[in-house]
């Protein structure tokens, strides 16, 4: 398998830690889309070739588990939620949760999505100098969307406490990911104690919310009530612990990802006035200043293409890892049992065979007829573990884009080039500072 020798890799480990996106991209440029990394005692492969990605995520998905550092760290917070569980347990949960993410259900969330966007626009009106950090704004707005879709009118003080505790706990996980050689979670360091405390606050808040909802017994049409009503093949509901894990998973998986996608969309539009003008023309023609609903989306193909092209260049979930539970052959190369596979949509989305001039922002790529081969575009993963919230995310992204772009143009507020920092998702380093221009 092509790849660097240990002597070539060693001096570059710092780079791997500081700028993993550029590091992985450079490896793919030099060695191709199938690279072996010589890590002592471990077989590590970085795979970006679409057919090989398809093989791992779909064709032979059963041979791969989520028992990797990425997901075991996250599981400290999300437990056995959909994102971090495996096997039969995962399958049962997936089947139970699936109906809640059906397109028809998501139509009911459209109002929560545009409502959060309109409230943000109200806040912007009050802004004197018109300069703000868009990264922060998008995070706040998508958090409100997740809160409202999970808890509807119950998204009050208690739910907010729970969401905040989730984010605090997640911060610790990020710290762990950045310091992989630090003490494990069970060692009573000050940081680990704070982490335990955050988890305690989180658990109490979630369990109280669930109990209150159960006691009231009111169907609300929100995600929480759908998960409460879900039954497995034997007619059994989720346990309290499972409900907790899934609620926290949705907050983590469904908040920062959409925020990151929207932030980069604004960044790209500000850099590409032609694309921005085409977007504005479509919105004016179809909506004429009206707040969009989900029914409008089929008539907004360019809006969708802008969002999809942004997900190509800056896929929020830039890292997908898997562990081989048995030996396999991928792309003609042997993969020993226990191997760690690194699949980065960021790299796959820059493969020149599928994407001519991959660095160029060209929404046209996603218009009719021109769609790319399926596994050359994997912002939501693929196969059985395909993002359960992908329709949710696409609808939310388009509705918010259409709502905000009708009122504002966002221009860079400082001349510094924007750098991409890959953490949980890809975020602009130091935020994305923009100047608001009313349209």
CA dihedral 102, 106, 108, 110 (to 10 degrees): -170
Check binding of 361 to ligand HEM (CB under 6 A): no
Check binding of 250 to ligand HEM (CB under 6 A): yes
- Taking the least distance from each CB to ligand HEM, the nearer of 43 and 385 is 385
Binder among 242, 249, 263, 348 for ligand HEM (CB under 6 A): 249
Q: Which residue has the tokens 């710290």?
A: 175
DSSP codes of every residue in 193-236: HHHHHHHHHHHHHHHHHHHHHHHH----SSHHHHHHH---TTSP
Give the separation between CA 107 and CA 295, rounded to whole angstroms.
8
- Letters for 252-281 (x = contact with ligand HEM by CB under 6 A, - = none) are -xx--xx--x--------------------
Which tokens hold the place of 30?
A: 């030099």
Contact between 372 and 354 (Cβ < 8 Å)? yes
As to burial, measured by CB atoms within 10 angstroms (0-12 exposed, 13-18 middle, 19+ buried), residue 277 is exposed
Those residues with Cβ within 8 angstroms of residue 338's Cβ, 6 or more apart along the chain or in another chain: 42, 43, 323, 324
Which tokens hold the place of 316?
A: 């929020």
Quick check: helix, strand or coil at residue 415?
coil
- How many chain residues interact with ligand HEM (CB under 6 A)? 22
Check binding of 316 to ligand HEM (CB under 6 A): yes
Binder among 243, 393, 395, 426 for ligand HEM (CB under 6 A): 393
Binder among 151, 155, 375, 380 for ligand HEM (CB under 6 A): 380
Question: Closest separation between CB of residue 266 and ligand HEM, Å?
Answer: 14
Provide the β-strand partners of residue 434. 132, 412
Stretch that binds ligand HEM, among 15-23, 115-123, 314-322, 367-375 (CB under 6 A): 314-322
- Taking the least distance from each CB to ligand HEM, the nearer of 82 and 202 is 82
Stretch that binds ligand HEM, among 152-160, 182-190, 272-280, 373-381 (CB under 6 A): 373-381
Stretch that binds ligand HEM, among 3-11, 127-135, 347-355, 386-394 (CB under 6 A): 386-394
Binder among 109, 302, 361, 392 for ligand HEM (CB under 6 A): 392
Contact between 378 and 54 (Cβ < 8 Å)? no
Check binding of 385 to ligand HEM (CB under 6 A): yes
Contact positions toward ligand HEM, by CB under 6 A?
82-83, 94, 249-250, 253-254, 257-258, 261, 316-317, 320, 379-381, 385, 387-389, 392-393
């Amino acid at each position: 398998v092509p790849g660097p020798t240990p002597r070539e890799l060693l001096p570059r480990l710092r780079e791997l830690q500081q700028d993993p996106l550029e590091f992985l991209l450079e490896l793919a440029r030099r060695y191709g889309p199938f690279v072996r990394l010589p890590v002592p005692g471990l077989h590590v492969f970085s795979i970006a070739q679409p057919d090989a990605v398809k093989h791992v995520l779909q064709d032979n998905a059963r041979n791969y588990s989520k028992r990797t550092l990425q997901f075991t760290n996250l599981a400290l917070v999300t437990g056995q939620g959909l994102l971090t569980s495996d096997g039969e347990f995962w399958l049962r949960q997936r089947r139970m949760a699936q109906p809640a993410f059906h397109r028809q259900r998501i139509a009911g969330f459209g109002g929560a999505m545009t409502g959060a966007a309109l409230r943000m626009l109200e806040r912007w009106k009050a802004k004197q100098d018109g300069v703000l950090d868009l990264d922060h704004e998008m995070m706040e707005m998508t958090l409100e969307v997740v809160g409202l879709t999970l808890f509807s009118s119950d998204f009050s003080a208690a739910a907010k406490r729970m969401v905040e505790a989730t984010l605090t706990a997640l911060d610790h996980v990020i710290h762990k990911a950045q310091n992989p050689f630090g003490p494990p979670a069970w060692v009573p360091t000050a940081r680990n104690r704070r982490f335990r405390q955050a988890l305690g606050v989180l658990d109490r808040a979630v369990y109280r919310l669930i109990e209150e909802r159960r006691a009231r017994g009111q169907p609300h049409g929100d995600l929480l009530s759908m998960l409460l009503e879900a039954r497995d093949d034997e007619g059994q509901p989720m346990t309290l612990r499972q409900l907790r894990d899934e609620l926290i998973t949705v907050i983590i998986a469904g908040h920062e990802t959409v925020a990151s996608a929207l932030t980069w969309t604004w960044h790209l539009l500000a850099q590409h006035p032609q694309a921005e003008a085409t977007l504005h023309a479509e919105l004016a023609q179809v909506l004429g200043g009206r707040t969009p609903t989900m029914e409008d989306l089929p008539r907004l193909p360019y809006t969708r293409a802008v969002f999809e092209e942004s997900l190509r260049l800056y896929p929020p979930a830039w890292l997908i890892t898997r562990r081989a539970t048995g030996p396999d052959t991928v792309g003609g190369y042997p993969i020993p049992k226990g191997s760690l596979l690194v699949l980065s949509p960021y790299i796959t989305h820059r493969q020149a065979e599928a994407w001519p001039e991959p660095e160029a922002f060209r929404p046209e790529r996603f218009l009719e007829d021109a769609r790319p081969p399926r596994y050359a575009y994997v912002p939501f993963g693929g196969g059985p573990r395909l993002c359960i919230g992908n329709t949710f995310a696409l609808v939310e992204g388009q509705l918010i884009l259409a709502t905000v772009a009708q009122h504002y143009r966002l221009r860079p507020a400082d001349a510094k080039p924007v750098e991409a920092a890959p953490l949980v998702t890809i975020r602009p380093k130091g935020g994305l500072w923009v100047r608001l221009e009313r349209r």
